[in-house]
Amino acid sequence: MNVLQIDSSASGSASVSRQLTAAIVQALCRNRPGAQVRHRDLVAQPPAHLDGALLQSLRPQPGAELPSDASFREQAAYTDELLEEFLGADVVVVGAPMYNFSIPSQLKAWIDRVAQAGKTFRYTAEGPQGLAGGKKVVIVSSRGGKYAGTPMEPMMDHQEAYLRAIFGFFGVNDVHVVRAEGVSLGTQVRAEALESALHRAGLLAEELAAAA
Ligand SMILES: Cc1cc2nc3c(=O)[nH]c(=O)nc-3n(C[C@H](O)[C@H](O)[C@H](O)COP(=O)(O)O)c2cc1C
């Protein structure tokens, strides 16, 4: 089983989502000895935002030439690495804190790299078709307020809803959420949210390891 752990919280060791992604991956490895883990820390090595040159390499316009400078080549190689490890993973554990009702820009930059026509999706006469199915994705959601099942959810959740949409677009239908929310609402709420998310993480890891 190939596991890809992605972290995007900028809070380092204080991060809730990093604690949870690590716990899930550890539990997966406990339940599936021999599992291969790749860890992608998008804060330690952030993918650059798209610019004209990167866009040209991802979505080439006929007749336009690709730049040949070292920094472009480095970013293009990084794109290939990110795509390859995503496509090669059986289970992807995505640490995704809510930042300003959405996701950290590093995670969005990762999505912009792996969203490649012909690799993770394609358009057909019947509409878009995902090409990266057959894997499982765990969205590890941490957020200061509470949204799930509240009137805030449809208005303000552009984090979990967006991630479900984009992984669905890539053809991944087996998406799970481990959520710690309300972590800014006081120490007790935070501790309870974390405890319950860790419990869910353990159960989910057992389930995924058995199914993979
Ligand atoms: C830059 C930033 C923006 C945030 N925006 C929101 C927000 O819009 N809604 C919310 O409920 N919490 C927000 N929070 C709180 C985080 O979602 C919460 O602290 C969560 O635990 C962050 O995940 P982490 O601990 O893995 O870094 C924000 C935190 C930061 C640092």
CATH number where 77 lies: 3.40.50.360
Give residue 67's pLDDT band: very low, low, confident or very high (50, 70, 90). Answer: confident
Residues with CB under 6 A from ligand 1: 9, 11, 15-18, 97-101, 142-145, 183-184
- Which atom of ligand 1 approaches the CA of 146 most closely? 11
What is the Å distance from ligand 1's center to 98 Cα? 5
- Residue-range definition of the domain harbouring residue 51: 2-211
Question: Ligand 1 atom closest to Cα of 102?
Answer: 8
**Bridge partner residues of 115 (DSSP):** none
Domain count, the chain: 1
Q: Is the pLDDT of residue 22 over 80?
A: yes
Angle between helices 70-88 and 105-114 (to 10 degrees): 80
Phi, psi of 9 (to 5 degrees): -75, 140
pLDDT digits (tens, 9 = 90+) for 98-141: 999 999 999 999 999 999 999 999 999 999 999 999 999 999 99
